[in-house]
Amino acid sequence: MKLIKMLFALLLALLMLASFVGYDLKILDDEIKAKTDTSSTSINTTVTQTQSNEMVWIPRTGVKYHRNASCSNMKTPRQVTRQEAEKRGYESCKKCY
């Protein structure tokens, strides 16, 4: 009987400890999620900046910009930034992008 009481007390102590640890883990989980959301925004901003500085090829006639100068048999393509191409109304080529 004494052994059962000791096991019960130990089980109760473990349950109490688990509830405290669970509470701490919830706080930690919330902090991690908050930092992850901030990191994600930072990464998206960096990707957008990189894409706008990317060099692309535009044809003299047409409405698509290209990653490769040889795509779509362009004749005398010009190289500009992706941002400039989009500012001029060009859209990405479905073959290249």
- What is the reported pTM? 0.49
pLDDT of residue 56: 95
> What tens-digit pLDDT sequence spans the chain (97 residues)?
888 888 777 766 766 665 554 545 555 566 666 666 555 555 555 555 556 689 999 998 899 999 999 998 888 999 999 999 999 999 999 998 8
Can you name the residues that pair with 65 across neighbouring β-strands? 92
Measured between alpha carbons, how far apart are the two ends of the chain, in Å? 74
What value does the CA radius of gyration of the chain take, rounded to a whole number of Å?
29
pLDDT of residue 78: 93
* Pair 83, 58: CB distance under 8 Å: no
Q: Residues near 54 by Cβ (< 8 Å), separated by ≥ 6? A: 81, 82
> Which among 51, 55, 50, 53 is positioned nearest to 66, based on CA atoms?
55
pLDDT of residue 79: 95
